[in-house]
Amino acid sequence: MAVETRAQAAGAAAERRDRAVRAAVEQGLIDEGSPLVCLLDVAGIRASAAALTSAFTEALAPGTPVLHAFAVKAAPLVPVLRLLADAGIGCEVASPGELALARAAGVAPHRTVLDSPAKTAAELRDALALGIAVNADNRQELERLDALVAAAPTSSPIGVRINPQTGAGAIDALSTATATSKFGIALRDPGAREWLVRAYLDRPWLTRLHTHSGSQGVPLPLIAEGVRELRALAEEINAAAGRRQVDTLDIGGGLPVNFASDEETPTYAQYAAALREAVPGLFDGSYGLVTEFGRSLLAKHGLVLSRVEYTKATGGRPIALTHAGVQLATRTVYAPAAWPLRILPYDAKGNPLTGPPVAQDVAGPACFAGDLLAAARELPLLSPGDLVAVPDTGAYFFTAHYGYNSLPRPAIHGFTVTPAGGVRFTLARPAQSLSDITAEAGAALRDALL
């Protein structure tokens, strides 16, 4: 079988997207009455899951246990978790809500990992009762776990999250391995290493170590350095214990995503190669592995599609007013330099729009001036009824809705291109209705404040 190159895969993904946009118009998913819809490329998600699995299978000594746990916060949708589970991927959860989603998707407790810096005693008790893997964030949480483990036996593998303090990537807000990050136990603080080794020797049930150096913007060598620190600490603990007490390393997620084109780069294979180089022995089978990728599994496979409602020119700048804005792309609107998104223009029939590029603003529907998906972007001049597609939004964008202006959560449809070239859509999340919005806004409590 011919191996598909990265460029060929990108071309195939773009072709599926173009077909889906045209089909969304033809099948009435988007029209005057419902001007905004979100799409997920099912084949793309499966391809990413397969790329992740095979990159680690190829790198690891045969028979080494490995669990790839999807970071649920990246796309908290039950059908997505179910699809990933079907592709062999478990769940990393960080709240009771995310755990409920994983369970609703049928993800087994032994394929679920609970991380979060602020777990309540009840959350911990529930996780231990279910046998879900737990990574403790801090010393006080470890003390809570002492009491819970003593009170009831558990099959949960338990670890501690380490902050290797290896430094920040390009986006401060997403860098979790800084000197003063809120996450985990800092490894380089005075006395911390000795304290950690002692903590493991005192707790034979601590069998894992966890780290996650950050999301988007942390370069591979920096992520790999954090993993190297993790393995070195595991070796130190095991030497002090005189046995293989730490048997599993949870290396987190954080593979960055390319938002500039359809190419999926860096790849999981490149990440595995970077790890092999920086952390000799990581794949030799002496430790089982857990990974927690989020963005890199889903981002490239999501698309926001909005009609252009109006166009105008203000101060000489053409502006297209669309229905896609801060509610779907919160990070881009508030931090445009860190989170640039591509805008792909289509005509009203869903065919790619052509024409000479004109610098124009692509604005959302929200009532504040900053609600722009792109400023002075060179695009063929948009007209009312045209469509704008915003690719690479499958993780942390439309699944992390921001309820400003009571703008509803739009419907999400998965799509599959059939061998005959048709497009089949399946609803993955219904649109939020006006009655949903009023109910969530306390309609049943109308007189409560009188």
Binding-site ranges for ligand PLP (CB under 6 A): 71, 73-74, 92, 115, 212, 215-216, 252-255, 292-296
Shortest Å distance, C-beta 297 to ligand PLP: 8
Closer to ligand PLP by CB, 255 or 319: give it. Answer: 255
Closer to ligand PLP by CB, 272 or 374: give it. Answer: 272
Closer to ligand PLP by CB, 103 or 212: give it. Answer: 212
Place of tokens 């508030």: 334
DSSP three-state, residue 72:
helix
DSSP readout, 394-417? TTTTTTS---GGGPPPPPEEEEEE
∠ Cα 32 306 325 (to 5°): 125
Shortest Å distance, C-beta 187 to ligand PLP: 16
Shortest Å distance, C-beta 296 to ligand PLP: 6
Closer to ligand PLP by CB, 293 or 346: give it. Answer: 293
Closer to ligand PLP by CB, 74 or 343: give it. Answer: 74
Shortest Å distance, C-beta 249 to ligand PLP: 13
- State the virtual CA torsion across 295, 301, 302, 306 in degrees, nearest 10: 140
Shortest Å distance, C-beta 136 to ligand PLP: 12
Structure tokens given for 280: 């000799």
∠ Cα 206 191 175 (to 5°): 75
> In what helix (H) or strand (E) does residue 233 lie, and over which residues does it extend?
helix 220-241
Closer to ligand PLP by CB, 94 or 279: give it. Answer: 94
- Between helix 139-151 and helix 121-130 the angle, nearest 10°, is 50
Closer to ligand PLP by CB, 74 or 136: give it. Answer: 74
Q: How are the residues of the chain apportioned to helix, strand and coil, as percentages rounded to the nearest 5?
A: 35, 25, 40
Shortest Å distance, C-beta 211 to ligand PLP: 9
Shortest Å distance, C-beta 44 to ligand PLP: 16
150 Cβ neighbours under 8 A, 6+ residues apart = none
219 Cβ neighbours under 8 A, 6+ residues apart = 169, 170, 256
- The residue sitting closest to ligand PLP, measured at its beta carbon, is 294
d(CA 177, CA 174): 9
